[in-house]
Amino acid sequence: MDDLGSNTVALDTANDVAAAALQTDGLGCHAGKERLRSAAEAAGMSDTLGQYAKDYPQGPHDQPQSMCPAFGSLRVGLRMRRTAMVLS
């Protein structure tokens, strides 16, 4: 218990952690559809993307708005309004 010097690990400071967080690949959920698609194709996933395109055709309302809280609130509000109209 006295010999902790050989088993200690240096902890990162908050600045080191923040700097590491900024050094990402930039392909998060806000990178854009085309950039994510090109990254997936570069990773060898073009066959999978082609199969998804066949299985799930894109229409005008098939955008990934589920990640947007504002759109979700709008959708719920419109659904409540529609339900109230039917019930009245």
pLDDT tens sequence across 14-73 = 666 666 655 666 656 666 778 878 888 888 888 888 888 888 777 666 655 555 555 556
Q: Is the pLDDT of residue 7 over 60?
A: no
Q: What is the pLDDT of residue 54?
A: 85
| Residues 48-71 as b or e (16 or more Cβ within 10 Å = b) | eeeeeeeeeeeeeeeeeeeeeeee
Global pTM reads: 0.35
